[in-house]
Amino acid sequence: MFIINCPYCGKRDQLEFSCGGEAHIERPKQPTELSDDQWAEYLFMRKNIKGVQFERWNHTHGCRKWFNMVRDTSNDKIHATYKMGEKPPIK
């Protein structure tokens, strides 16, 4: 259990949120020109690293808005949360 700072509503319990996987994955501009492997790479392959990771989260039981989060997967420390479309505050 940890507290997440929703960029819209403020600090809330983790129970109210759901994780939407890795963030900042760009959709290929010309999907028809990709091979099956490249398309599968875009569609399914995720990093799932141990350490600082950029993720998409949704405040499911609150404002229902999507936002991004920088989280250390080894200790669940949340470094930052920021709105969709904004640049990550941490590199």
Partner 1 sequence: MLNFNSPIQNEKKYNEIKITEVEPTIKINLRSNKREFSTKIGKILSILPPTEANTSSGNENYSLLWLSPDEWLVYSKNKNQNFKDQIELEKKLFNEISKINQGAVTNVSDHWVLFNLKGNKIYDLLTKSCPFDFNEFKKKKGSVSQTIVNHIDVIIHNNENNDLNLFVRRSFSEDLWLWINDSASFL
Please tell me whether residue 76 binds partner 1 under the rule CB under 8 A: no
Please tell me whether residue 15 binds partner 1 under the rule CB under 8 A: yes
Please tell me whether residue 79 binds partner 1 under the rule CB under 8 A: no
| Contacting partner 1 within 28-67 (CB under 8 A) | 61-65
State the DSSP string of 1-26.
--EEEETTTEEEEGGG-EEEEE---P
Q: Are 78 and 71 in contact (CB under 8 A)?
A: yes
In whole angstroms, how close is the CB of 47 to partner 1 at the nearest point? 30
The rounded distance, in Å, linking the Cα atoms of 88 and 39 is 26
Which residues of the shown chain bind partner 1 in the complex (CB under 8 A)? 8-13, 15-16, 61-65
